[in-house]
Copies of this chain bind each other. A is one copy, B any other.
Amino acid sequence: MRERIAFLGRTHVTRTRVRFGETDAAGIVFYPTFFTWFDLGTHGLMRDAGATRDAEGRPVPMLPIVECGAKFSAPLRSDDPIAIHSRVVEIGKSSMRIEHVVRHREHEVGRGFEVRVMVRRDGRRIIPEPIPESVRVGLAENGIATGDDLA
């Protein structure tokens, strides 16, 4: 029995341009920037799912990350237009895996993932919390979780 199940989530697409400050002296994007884009994509997804603001409209801290990774296939330069395609591909009781694909003019230039866990803090202790049903529904494209669509 697996804790995480595959999940056909909605895709959030973040369109932006490579900022000059995101490049380095090699003339291309400084690689940690890809994770700032993944984080941006996850925030976009969560905003769509109604999970970034509380009832008073204040920002809710994002789910902490426990694991991530990326592969890079082509360099990007300043001012290049990019699209970050973000989607939840696995979801468990407290955690989810989000997949991100970065495209430049229809070509994939990098992809990666984040594993995030819903938590609350109790002083220095961090305690996993169930992902609220409202977030789960907000993340699903048609409210459907499926076991055979693991991207």
Contacts and interface: CB of A to CB of B under 8 A. Distances in A.
B35 A19 contact: no
Interface residues of A, number: 41
A116 B73 CA distance: 12
B70 A31 contact: no
A24 interface: yes
A69 interface: yes
11 contacts: A20-B62, A21-B30, A24-B25, A25-B77, A25-B78, A28-B64, A31-B35, A32-B32, A53-B79, A69-B69, A69-B70
Q: Which 7 A-B pairs have the closest CB atoms?
A: A69-B69, A32-B35, A23-B25, A26-B61, A32-B32, A59-B78, A21-B30
